[in-house]
Structures are given as structure tokens and as C-alpha cells.
Amino acid sequence: MEKIIINGGNPLYGTIEVSGMKNSSLPILFGTILVSGDCIIENLPPIDDVFAALSILKAMGARVRMLDATTVQINTDGIVCGSAPYEQAIHMRGSYYIAGAELSRFGRTRVPLPGGCDFGQRPIDQHIKGFEKLGASVQVEEGYINAESEGVLQGASVYMDVVSVGATINVILAAVLAEGVTTIDNAAREPHIVDLANFLNACGADIAGAGTDVIRIKGVGSLKGVTYGVIPDMIEAGTYMIAAAATGGKLTISNVIPKHLESVTAKLTEMGAVVEENDTCVVVSAPTELKAVNVKTQPYPGFPTDMNPQMCVLLCLAEGVSMLREGVWDNRFRYVKELARMGADITVEPKVATVRGKTPLKGAKVNAVDLRAGAAVVIAGLAAEGTTEIGDIYHIERGYERIVEKLRKVGADIEKRVVPDDMGAAVI
Ligand code: EPU
């Protein structure tokens, strides 16, 4: 089994460059289904979820050519509607963006129900409601989302009952080539939604209000290919900001948009760290002593749910008792049992963790139970005394580009190694 092995205790010093954002790369890549001609997408993170998205597009008949490690040329003119391969699509969340894009372009779609991290229920009722408002009839059966409309989708008013990144994106994709105007009320405001809208507008779409809770999409007849660069990944950046504070070091995190990091910066500052912002980087210096704080995760611009596990590790290292409330997902605390193996003292009620801080973390054998939980045990391993062995690292590799190399460059004692399993079996 491939594992990440960390000998903890080294403060991190130096610069880490952040990659493109996973959660805008996926809608942009699937958004190319709406575009005629070639798109060149730059600053893509070379991570497993992006490779999987490209492989799905290829299997559907798109021409996909990597121009370099982070740039791809895509032409979806010849794709076959409804041909997203089941096995690949069910392993990632973003594959359901094919539904909105296919409905918009072909007036019908057939997409496997998506996978992604396990946070309890991950309903898609708001996606379905949006598609139906635009005139599609939708069925979820035998593991697929099937939808079709009579003729072109028609613009409509869509009110989201919950703030949903995925549903907002899917309705935008569906509305881009619809006839007339669609408005989305109570839309998600995440930077990846703005990134997708900027990409689509560059291709000729007419989308206004992305980044606010009311988005207006005026349908257009067609989109044409462009060259577009994905924005930096605010969750990867936030993860390394916390790694600096957790290890008692000082890191410059470059290629970021500091505005996207404000909620993380605010909490780190409250805990005693010093965060300096420049145009495209933040510098995080750890304090001698971290203070306990209360945190609640919320949709953007609130503190991101995708920073919940990483922040929890930092709270374990702070003096005093902190409360960490999860405001987005029902079951985001599955990672707590892994931190407990390392000595963390955390009590979880369904959506609130009480973290009693400054228990010394000790290296242990732990697992990455999902993507951000994996990042959290990496940070815990960096801060802990002794050796931490992390299994199921495929979760981490879905979303973090070369995390081992990036951390090693700033002084971490970390490596990826093939380790025989506990039964002594040879594992390649
Ligand atoms: N929800 C509904 N109905 C829906 C859709 C969502 O009730 O139809 C609820 C969910 O159950 C949840 C809340 O709305 O309680 C928010 O879900 P959202 O739709 O915003 O999440 P998502 O689009 O499935 C994306 C990211 C997640 C991130 C969330 C929240 C991608 C591929 N995934 O998921 O990222 O946690 O937004 O910000 O963009 C990650 O990158 O590690 C990750 C899990």
C-alpha cells in the first residue's frame, strides 16, 4: 500500500506555490461541452480529479491534448451525449456538471450519479429542481440522472432552498444556451462560481451577478473556444497556511488571491499568528502560543467547510477549549477518530466538535478518510512528535498536487513509500 510517512516536529520555512483550483477546474472542464471549437485551459492542477475529468471527456469523444503539465487543449465538437463512462464518473463529484452542460447543448442528458467524499447525505434535489424549472423532465433511476426537454430549455426563475455550489453551477451550465433569461436566487457565492462565469462569458455567454446571491443568465445561441486560466486554489492555500501555524514555522504561500483567504486569515490572526498579505501571496508566521477560538463553517464568504479538518488540527494545538461547528455538511467529523489515535482530545456531537487543546500529538498509523481529512492528518503528522504513517492517500491525491514534494521543499521530513500491509503481504 502506498503511504505517506512523516517524521514530525520540523517547523516549515520557505515558499509554497499554490496550484489551480480543483473546484473550478471541474466545472470549467465539463463546461467546455457547451463550446464549439478549441478551448485552451491553463493553470489546471495536475491532480487525480482533473485527470479523471479529462479521461471522462475523452471517453465521451472529446479531443483532449495536454500542451504542458498544467495546460490542456479540448475540443468537444464530436462528443456523444449520454456517453459519460459509469465507472469513472461515479468516483468524482464534479462529473454531475455533465448533466447541466449536456441538457443545455443537446436538450437531454444521461449521467451516472456522482461520487466524491462521504459527508453523509449528498442530495441533488436542487439540481433537479433547477433543471425542471428550465423545462426538463428529470428521472433518477438505476444509478443515473436522466433528463430531457422538448426543444431548447427555457429561461426561468430558480430559487435555491439551500446554498449549493454544485446546484448553482449546474443551473448556470443549463441556462447558458437556454432561450431567455434565467435568474438564480440564493445562489452560492464561491470564487469557483465566479471563475466558471468568467470562463463562460469569455466564450460568449451572458452571465451577470456571479459572486453575489442573485445570478442572471441571458441565454445565447452558441459559445466559441477561448484560452482561459483557472484561479488559484484557496483550499490548498489555506491548508498550507495552517501547516505553517501548526509547525511553528513561517511560510510564504504564493500564487493566491488573498481576498479568497480572508476567513482563514481572520481565524489565524485571532489565534495569534501573523498573516501578511501582498498582491499574490500571503506570509504566515506562527505565534509562540496558539489561542483557542470558536469556528463555524459556512458557505463563502464564511469559513470554508473544506478547511474544517485542517482547522481542527490547529485547534488541537491551541491552549484552551475551542468549538468547531460544521454549518454545511451533516457528517464532516469522520476524521476525528484518526486524530484521536494521535492523542487529540475531541468530543463530537453531530455537527459540533469540542476540542480540548494542547494535548501533545504523537505520531501514529492513521488513514485519510476523505480528501480534506487527509490534508488534516498530514498537518497533524507534521506537528506531532514521532512518525505518522498515513494510508488511503488516494483521497489526498485527488485534490492536492505533489503535496509531499511541496512540503519537503519547505523542510518537512515527509515521503511517499510503498509499505507492506499489516498481514505482511507484498504490496506493489
Ligand atoms: N444540498 C442539498 N441539495 C442539493 C445540493 C446540496 O440539500 O441539491 C446541500 C448539501 O447536502 C450540503 C449543502 O447543500 O449540506 C452544500 O452542498 P453543495 O452542493 O454546496 O456541495 P457540492 O457542490 O456537492 C462542493 C465541493 C465540496 C465542498 C462543497 C461546499 C466540488 C466538486 N465539491 O460540493 O468540496 O465541500 O461544495 O463548499 O466543488 C472538497 O473539495 O474537498 C469538497 C468536498
Give the domains, in start order, of the chain with CATH numbers.
2-19+232-427 (3.65.10.10), 22-229 (3.65.10.10)
* Any ligand 1 atom below 6 A from CB of 94: yes
Q: Whose CA is nearest to atom 11 of ligand 1?
A: 122
Residue 424 in this model has a pLDDT that exceeds 80: no
Which residue from 205, 236, 246 is spatially nearest to 307, judged by alpha carbons? 236
Q: Whose CA is nearest to atom 28 of ligand 1?
A: 306
Question: Burial of 42 by CB count in 10 Å (0-12 exposed, 13-18 middle, 19+ buried)?
Answer: middle
Q: What is the DSSP pairing of strand 157-159 with strand 181-185?
A: parallel
Sheet holding 144-149, edge to edge: 108-112, 144-149, 136-141
- The atom number, within ligand 1, closest to the CA of 330 reads 15
Distances (CA, A) of 213 to 27, 165, 187, 188, 262: 19, 11, 4, 6, 19
* Any ligand 1 atom below 6 A from CB of 305: yes
Q: What is the pLDDT of residue 115?
A: 76
CA of 122 to the centre of ligand 1 (A): 7
Q: Whose CA is nearest to atom 31 of ligand 1?
A: 23
Q: Whose CA is nearest to atom 35 of ligand 1?
A: 306
Which residue from 158, 65, 146 is spatially nearest to 106, judged by alpha carbons? 146
Contacts of 245 (CB under 8 A, 6+ apart): 268, 271, 273, 284, 286, 287, 290, 314
Q: What is the pLDDT of residue 423?
A: 59
pLDDT > 90 fraction of the chain, expressed in percent and rounded: 92
Q: What is the pLDDT of residue 427?
A: 39
CA of 326 to the centre of ligand 1 (A): 13
CA of 276 to the centre of ligand 1 (A): 30
Q: Whose CA is nearest to atom 22 of ligand 1?
A: 166
Residue 24 in this model has a pLDDT that exceeds 50: yes
* Any ligand 1 atom below 6 A from CB of 166: yes
Residue 297 in this model has a pLDDT that exceeds 60: yes
CA of 163 to the centre of ligand 1 (A): 9
Q: How large is the average pLDDT for residues 97-110?
A: 97
Q: How large is the average pLDDT for residues 293-319?
A: 98
Q: How many CB atoms lie within 10 A of CB 347?
A: 10
CA of 187 to the centre of ligand 1 (A): 13
* Any ligand 1 atom below 6 A from CB of 66: no
Q: Tell me the per-residue pLDDT of 391-402, one tens digit each, with 9 for 90 and over.
A: 999 999 999 999
Q: What is the pLDDT of residue 238?
A: 98
- The atom number, within ligand 1, closest to the CA of 192 reads 39
* Any ligand 1 atom below 6 A from CB of 375: no
Do 221 and 332 form a contact (C-beta atoms < 8 A)? no
Q: What is the pLDDT of residue 422?
A: 65
* Any ligand 1 atom below 6 A from CB of 371: yes
Q: What is the pLDDT of residue 376?
A: 98
CA distance 274 to 78: 52
* Any ligand 1 atom below 6 A from CB of 26: yes
- The atom number, within ligand 1, closest to the CA of 129 reads 8
pLDDT > 70 fraction of the chain, expressed in percent and rounded: 98
Residue 196 in this model has a pLDDT that exceeds 50: yes
* Any ligand 1 atom below 6 A from CB of 129: no
Q: How large is the average pLDDT for residues 368-374?
A: 97
Q: What is the pLDDT of residue 426?
A: 44
* Mean predicted lDDT score pLDDT of the chain: 96
Least confident of 24-33, 89-98, 172-181: 89-98
The model's confidence at residue 270, banded by pLDDT at 50, 70 and 90, is very high
Written in H, E and C, the secondary structure of 311-339 is: HHHHHHHCECEEEEECCCCCCCCCCHHHH
Residue 245 in this model has a pLDDT that exceeds 90: yes
**pLDDT greater at residue 224 or residue 1:** 224
Distances (CA, A) of 65 to 16, 55, 179, 241, 381: 28, 11, 32, 34, 38
What's the CA dihedral at 60, 193, 397, 378 to 10 degrees? -170
Q: How large is the average pLDDT for residues 320-324?
A: 98
Query: What type of residue is 233?
Result: D
Q: How large is the average pLDDT for residues 253-262?
A: 98
Q: Whose CA is nearest to atom 16 of ligand 1?
A: 164
The model's confidence at residue 134, banded by pLDDT at 50, 70 and 90, is very high
Q: How large is the average pLDDT for residues 358-381?
A: 97
Q: What is the pLDDT of residue 428?
A: 39
CA of 305 to the centre of ligand 1 (A): 9
CA distance 111 to 48: 20
CA distance 345 to 303: 23
